[in-house]
Structure 1
């Protein structure tokens, strides 16, 4: 392949303002390039705390910041609020919704992942996932309304269905959601209802594999399971969900009536990956070269959840630290291309793994160091506050967590919006009564 000479000021297009895209953009702050950062949302989201917005512990602005504000002092970047529909790798341009074309000299595709229902996309209507702030706000509304519907429901069986919460998927997101939901039911809502006892709510965590938090060592996984049970979470492993509907879900041969099912079981790569014409893995992620570029198009890079790459013979996990490292690596690779020097292979540095389970319960795995319980929980708190973007976000999150710790209360429990399905459910219940 014959490379074309670069213009005096090369144009770099970065698709996605998540961890990979934003870290690449910032790492190119002093480079002699022109950057266009494109995202269909105007904010960068600290996704590890998204479940706290869904469970009313934090508000949306606490874990998100406008991309324009973050990059306001970086003069070589332009932020575009737009949706990319197609990438023409050979023609070196991409197409936005509405038909606009944007050319590039270098491209970083970091558009992330979406929910994967393992061939059962019809489940999405009844088991929402958690990837965006919109997802979190809708889920928060549904969770809070479930208790309100139960309070107004005279039929015991229907009331029990409203108080039955199932989280499908035993990874960090599923575990964190389950533990927090149990705390809300048993502590936050205590004495607030007259016709129901929120503590009687059933929270079930369902993992098809043999254990929860399978990315952790087995002994820490078992400790997490015990901590979940102490919080009141029912943990089911070894049996996958086989059906999900508006009325409940099927686990093995048993149908369980439940009006709230949350999906935390799998992810699929952004559909944009398919427009590259590059080889993909089974999850739809792009199989990239060692330096995160495409074999046929070395000026195109893929990073974050969209990249399928190995480091030291092991797959790189789809976690925030890996995405940040990929973003910085792509920035350095582009600098190398501008200098005319070889690019280096990506090397992932694993700084450890941590997950919170609930109040004063967490597990931490850092090399040979293994922690669980209260000490791990404090470690988790400190790490997440440290990695939040912006002093305001850190301060607000700290204050919210301190208040929740001492009072068991959650300050974001306002129900907003309207949902015809919820209203119709309530109307049908009233008519049947």
Structure 2
């Protein structure tokens, strides 16, 4: 499905890619945006007014499956899935900050002019989050705003991991009644699956039926606390019997069982911050739990993936799903460059000095360009991300990030998409939403 805008850049109902291709050939529309692919009508016609009237009756729901490393996005119109995407969050922010801090502190130990340390008088605003967490919130905020400009969203479904719907429906629920609710067994099993990487803790078997197993057996005084539970295949569970994990030959299992879930802590620390950001959009927000998402995914028989999890968020998930899209847009957060003007080697010594400007001949490093070279060593057509030089001779990288062509004159380059802090790729899926290809391919329309 392709997003459609009218002449005044107001969103209309998405259309099929075949319809968009026909409109582009006849010249009735222009390409407004490459990622996600969006077309814009040139003229205001009666057919567009009819589209707008039908759109007023349609309700497009954005579903968000928030995770520490990946966030799944899905847009549904009733039972119809019209768009799927997955945000890849930056995970190296803390390491970059630590490296910069270490580099600055060594400045005081070198044989150079003494520089007094800065006094720690910087205040933090209310609601401050570490940069590594704020980056995840900002990514979701930016994409909700972008999608509002491309599609007439009316509702948002958000997986607020610890939001307890049982307690809301019955505030007096307690004891064993609280544990044996509609989602009994889903919360603990999902926690253990994430903690033990969805494989047997003893033999490492994957893609098989796993059982919840007690590290210290109950017959030996073990409890059913989370720190005493792990996952095992049926064979290992039977062989282990009433032995402890240490007696069974796995002394490290107990240490890993007590290890906290770092990713779960990141999501827990930012889940209400994301909720507040979504509330600012003014749309109706529905919250769901991870257990509800898993239950819906099992009932719909969908594979475990973040974009499919997004489809299953909340109680609004229909009993039957119709997929009208054949691809998943992978959005990788890369940032907009660095303030550093010098490249350093692993020892901290300069190995190259960068120019004091970002834009060269109308291009910026990271822009997606198409270069048609008529002659020479690199004769042919090249499409990819450009690495700019002040000499005017650029390098073009392919989708794997490898230099495909070097020293291409800027006069041969044509802009396809300007850098916006993200990298894009597409994964094809089948008619029923089941992936047919695991290879990530470029979504350039050429």
User: What interval of TM-score do these two structures reach, taking the shorter chain for normalisation?
Assistant: under 0.3
| Between structures 1 and 2, the one with greater helix share | 1
TM-score normalised over the length of structure 1 = 0.24
Higher relative contact order (CA 8 A, sep 6+): 1
Q: Which has the larger radius of gyration?
A: 2
